[in-house]
Structure 1
């Protein structure tokens, strides 16, 4: 085998190795490419129960209900088009309140309600995740028509 053929063989193997690594990475991320789901994303097709996902949106005003145990919460997340009920047991972040942005980590149940294991509240009055800002803009545009 000549030196030129060896270089071509090594280059072909390198390209195959890179392609294989890319395919492995894509297969590992196939359903996790979205940072979070909005309520309107799951209105028609709820992700499989017990699959770990993130639900993002705004806490609907008047929806927070605290249980007598002091650590359980029920509230509704909305994106302006759809709503999703959420149940959370634990200590909520200080910035968690009605009308504020939230990303809840957890899983959906068969009845399309969401069981959160962790809550992330927005840190600034003007901050909104880019995906949520786009969804809210679309909602306002559609409502204005």
Structure 2
């Protein structure tokens, strides 16, 4: 992420980067929504079949490749926003940038473990997280479109 942040500070000059990241994040949200709905339908099917004695169809598991692509896409698009925020706060101070990114990665690691346990017990939390990610995606798209508006107007 530190290398990514170094590159991102240079890419801050690229107009449309936030818009592209927001669109990518929306694609991740769509995939998450489909997965959450599939898990909910499978849970309902298990509850129904358990009560009636019928066997339920097993939930289709993701392949390693599918999971890896989804994780990388989510990480890149969400890291983009995180890196841009830290880079904007650090300005021209690379040591502060590195410290901020290391701190955010450590905090996300601790939070991910805690949230993983909560998500297994409380499925509704996943929908709250999805809503937050959708909000971030639309905000990135909005800010990115504001960057593009003057460029498009000048054409």
TM-score (normalizing by structure 2) = 0.22
Higher RCO (Cα < 8 Å, 6 or more apart): 2
Q: Tell me which protein shows more strand as a share of its residues.
A: 1
Q: Tell me which protein shows more helix as a share of its residues.
A: 2
**Structure number, greater radius of gyration:** 1
